[in-house]
Chain A
Amino acid sequence: MRHPFLYAAQKALVFVLSVLLLSLAVFYVSRLAPGDPLISYYGERAEKMTVEERARAEEKLGLNAPVYVQYIRWLEGALHGDFGISYKYKTDVLEVIRGRAANTLLLGGAGFLIIFGLAILLGIFCAWFEDRLPDRILCRVGTISSCIPEFWLALVFILIFAVTLRILPSSGAYSVGKGGSLSDRIRHLILPLAVVVLEHLWYYAYMIRNKLLEEVRAEYVLLARSKGLGKRTVLFRHCLRNILPSYFSIMAISVPHILGGTYIVETVFSYPGLGTLSYESARYHDYNLLMVLSILSGMTVILCSIIAQVVNEYLDPRMRQGPEVEPDE
């Protein structure tokens, strides 16, 4: 048993190192890209600039130095809480993000809660009826739903509910002039949320189902059954309790998947969140914005995987040997 302080220090070190590595990678890759960052700052004007004007502009944005110098400068600023300005919006990066983060958090968070609430119910239901009609039907429907690419499902939903039936809005987070109205926000949230949930639900429900099915094959279940315990008691009191650690770790490692999915959905529905923002910033070389956004999502993800490990080790000390958490489909 290691000292708890050492343990925390080790986890913190892993976290810091991963974030540093990620920032370095994103920094280099984004600058390797062909394309002109000045266009996103100056717009059309950038194309007509003379050589001297360009040089001055690049110096102003700090783009004339070699990449590693730029990185060190950026890192210095970042450690003081200064992440630079967005080339496109011309304000502090954090300001730009603050306006959008709530939207993504709402979509992703609500999706996450619904997915995991329903997934465990579905998983138990399917395990209970293993290989019988309800299970077979659900498995079939689930497999089909998980085969549909996210963006296409979103398109079909827009086609049905917004274009043909005209009952739900097809894009945005609120109608113009109705930003404060709660019912309007919810109406805009229904379609994106439905896509996020439908796309991921079966993946996790199936995982839980399979974990449960592995569990009911254990010897202790046979013992409990032969001692006369009912099916329901065995399933809920013993099997379910035994798979809870993996349920929590699945929840934690699901964050990147759901986050990635949210980003695609945001793009299709032109939902003003971090996803559309990341895509724009990668596309138009808004370096500072891109850095903060990638680090933000990277940090969330790394943090979640560390949380998953810690929770696992707390619930099941055998895990300390080395985590074997892998999402299997």
Chain B
Amino acid sequence: MNEDKFVQVGIRPPAEMRTAVPVKRRKDFPVVAAGVLAVIVLGCLFCGAVMTKDPAYMDLVNYSRPPDREFLFGTDTMGRDIFSMIWYGGRVSLLIGFLSTAVSTVIAVVFGSLSGMAPAWLDAVLMRAAEIILSIPNLLLVILIQAALGDANIWSISLVTGVTGWTSIAKVVRTEVRQMRESEYVVASRCMGGGFFHILWKHLTPNFISSIMFMAVMNVRTAIVSESTLSFIGIGLPLEIISWGSMLSLSEKALLSNAWWIILAPGAFLVVTLLCITDIGSFLRKNRKQSNL
């Protein structure tokens, strides 16, 4: 049916009837968020060029100094320059975010597709197991494991947050895999002797990657929050390993002396980063159809 036929018989061309699902438009891309995030990530990666002081140096004369021209964001209760620490510590926070997302995504993809490809009974067992794990409050689980592991470092925190955060992605992967496991290309590949990981990588992953993208990006956010929360309550990174979380673990002391910059400066960076990640994440979601209301 082409449009000029409508016009010929005198009917309004169906321009107002936008029935087609609008394709994801480039102009929706969150430019501001991506730009700000790029500045933060680059600043952290090349922190040597941005920093004005040595972030680990404890200037014991100038402790808890409010922001001024020398110490742009002030100094913390141990006399370290907060401006330099933010860029230096951002590396650790971002690294933990990405590492833990990598861990959780890999576990989720393998577990989810295993469950999706498995016979019904095994699928039921695996999914119940995932549900039980999902049902434990995430942060509580992290706190329990981390308190049990004792001294934390970057790797253990990434591992713990990754290991506890894979269940919801796994469920999505499983549903997607179940839908396409009977499709011709999967069956064909299996007939030709393709193994589980071959099929997973060549045929399944390209199909479900778009639907887990958003959740993976959100996991980066969750991991960064977990790191800072753990460090704040004192079972995460110790003070010597500078990260946004360990910087905020001085806030209880800062509250006593009303040193607001120790709390607000790293926190603002943290929140802005999380916000940018969220914006980019929501862009990756699927678009919606036209409303009928």
B139 and A264 contact, CB distance less than 8 A? yes
A222 proximity list for chain B (CB < 8 A): 292
B168 and A143 contact, CB distance less than 8 A? no
Q: Which of A47-55, A89-97, A295-303 contacts B (4 or more CB under 8 A)?
A: A295-303
CB distance from A210 to the nearest CB of B (A): 9
Residue of A nearest to B231 (CB): A151
Residue-by-residue, is A7-28 near B (CB-CB < 8 Å gives 1, otherwise 0)? Answer: 0000000100010011000100
Q: Is residue B233 within 8 Å, beta carbon to beta carbon, of the partner chain?
A: yes
Q: Which of B42-50, B79-87, B259-267 contacts A (4 or more CB under 8 A)?
A: B259-267
Q: Is residue A79 within 8 Å, beta carbon to beta carbon, of the partner chain?
A: no
B267 and A263 contact, CB distance less than 8 A? no
A148 and B271 contact, CB distance less than 8 A? yes
B270 proximity list for chain A (CB < 8 A): 149, 152
A294 and B255 contact, CB distance less than 8 A? no
Given A29-B144, A326-B171, A159 and B135 touching (CB < 8 A)? no
Which residues in chain B, 4-45, are within 8 Å of chain A measured between CB atoms?
A: none
State A302–B289 Cα separation when bound (angstroms): 36
CB < 8 Å: which of A26, A148, A217, A261 contacts B144? A26
Q: Is residue A329 within 8 Å, beta carbon to beta carbon, of the partner chain?
A: yes
Q: Is residue B145 within 8 Å, beta carbon to beta carbon, of the partner chain?
A: yes
A213 and B288 contact, CB distance less than 8 A? yes
Q: Is residue B59 within 8 Å, beta carbon to beta carbon, of the partner chain?
A: no
Given A260-B137, A263-B139, A217 and B149 touching (CB < 8 A)? no
CB distance from B272 to the nearest CB of A (A): 9
Q: How many A-B residue pairs have CB under 8 A?
A: 142
Q: Is residue B290 within 8 Å, beta carbon to beta carbon, of the partner chain?
A: yes
A33 proximity list for chain B (CB < 8 A): 147-150
Max count, chain B CB within 10 A of own CB: residue among A152, A294, A305? A152
Q: Which of A64-72, A177-185, A277-285 contacts B (4 or more CB under 8 A)?
A: A277-285
Residue-by-residue, is A22-41 near B (CB-CB < 8 Å gives 1, otherwise 0)? Answer: 10001001101111000000
Given A155-B263, A213-B291, A259 and B274 touching (CB < 8 A)? no
CB < 8 Å: which of B144, B149, B175 contacts A324? B175
Query: Which of the four size classes fits the interface of chain B?
Result: 35 or more
A257 proximity list for chain B (CB < 8 A): 137
Interface of A is mostly: helix
Q: Is residue A231 within 8 Å, beta carbon to beta carbon, of the partner chain?
A: yes
Given A147-B274, A216-B292, A18 and B225 touching (CB < 8 A)? no
Residue-by-residue, is A186-219 near B (CB-CB < 8 Å gives 1, otherwise 0)? Answer: 0000000000000000000000000001101111
Which residues in chain B, 236-252, are within 8 Å of chain A measured between CB atoms?
A: 248, 251
Max count, chain A CB within 10 A of own CB: residue among B144, B148, B271, B291? B148
The total of chain A residues at the interface (CB under 8 A) is 63
Q: Is residue A234 within 8 Å, beta carbon to beta carbon, of the partner chain?
A: yes
Given A149-B270, A282-B147, A217 and B291 touching (CB < 8 A)? yes
CB distance from B234 to the nearest CB of A (A): 8
A264 and B229 contact, CB distance less than 8 A? yes
Q: Is residue A78 within 8 Å, beta carbon to beta carbon, of the partner chain?
A: no
A294 and B275 contact, CB distance less than 8 A? no
B136 and A301 contact, CB distance less than 8 A? yes
CB distance from A56 to the nearest CB of B (A): 26
State A120–B247 Cα separation when bound (angstroms): 37
State A83–B21 Cα separation when bound (angstroms): 59
CB distance from B219 to the nearest CB of A (A): 11
Q: Is residue A163 within 8 Å, beta carbon to beta carbon, of the partner chain?
A: yes
Q: Is residue A267 within 8 Å, beta carbon to beta carbon, of the partner chain?
A: yes
B291 and A329 contact, CB distance less than 8 A? no
Residue-by-residue, is B162-184 near A (CB-CB < 8 Å gives 1, otherwise 0)? Answer: 00000010011001000000000
B225 and A149 contact, CB distance less than 8 A? yes
CB distance from A171 to the nearest CB of B (A): 10
B293 and A234 contact, CB distance less than 8 A? yes
A221 and B150 contact, CB distance less than 8 A? no
Q: Is residue A225 within 8 Å, beta carbon to beta carbon, of the partner chain?
A: yes
State A170–B267 Cα separation when bound (angstroms): 19
A218 proximity list for chain B (CB < 8 A): 292
Residue-by-residue, is B214-225 near A (CB-CB < 8 Å gives 1, otherwise 0)? Answer: 000010010001
Q: Is residue B235 within 8 Å, beta carbon to beta carbon, of the partner chain?
A: yes
B135 and A283 contact, CB distance less than 8 A? no
B292 and A279 contact, CB distance less than 8 A? no
Pick 16 A–B contacts, CB within 8 A, sort by A: A14-B128, A18-B135, A33-B150, A147-B221, A148-B271, A158-B255, A159-B264, A218-B292, A221-B293, A231-B293, A234-B293, A259-B137, A259-B140, A282-B148, A297-B137, A324-B175
Interface of B with A (CB < 8 Å)? 128, 131-132, 135-140, 143-145, 147-150, 168, 171-172, 175, 218, 221, 225, 228-229, 232-233, 235, 248, 251, 255, 258, 260, 263-264, 267, 270-271, 274-275, 278-279, 282, 288-293
